[in-house]
Amino acid sequence: MELKGKTAIITGGGRGIGKGIALALAREKCNIVVTSRNQEEVTSVIKEAEGMGSAGLGLPCDLSIEGNIQELVEKTVERFGTVDILINSAGYCKRVPFFEETMEEFKKIRFAHDC
């Protein structure tokens, strides 16, 4: 499949699996939009992707805030004209003993929006 020139949003793309996917897409000359709550991680991944000849946009973003999701899509379309691929790699992790976890925290983990 030809990915050159396609535009991908990678949530949780600042590290781990999300970063790996973002850089794999960059090697294929896909335009990548990387989100993470960590600005330094986003900047680093975009810099690496651009070094491979891929166009990139890094947006620090907390996806648990609905307005941030809309802004992410708007900025992506403004820069690249479209969204062709969406990789949901964001996650949420809180380490507490199971029986001490609240239902609210459990739902955050089960229905994670960002890490």
DSSP state at residue 100: G
Q: What is the total residue count of the chain?
A: 115
Residue 23 lies in a domain: yes
For every one of its 115 residues, what pLDDT tens digit does the chain have, with 9 covering 90 and above? 799 999 999 999 999 999 999 999 999 999 999 999 899 999 999 999 999 999 999 999 888 788 889 999 999 999 999 999 999 988 766 677 777 778 777 666 544 444 3
Residue 73 lies in a domain: yes
pLDDT given at position 113:
42
Residues of the domain holding 40: 7-90
Residue 103 lies in a domain: no
pTM of the model: 0.81
Residue 114 lies in a domain: no
Question: Is the distance from CB of 10 to CB of 35 less than 8 angstroms?
Answer: yes
Residue 98 lies in a domain: no
> How many structural domains comprise the chain?
1
Residue 111 lies in a domain: no
pLDDT given at position 102:
80
Measured from the Cβ of residue 86, the count of other Cβ atoms closer than 10 Å reads: 13
Residue 108 lies in a domain: no
Give the domain CATH number at 53: 3.40.50.720
Taking Cα atoms as reference points, which of 72, 55, 81, 91 lies closest to residue 9?
Answer: 72
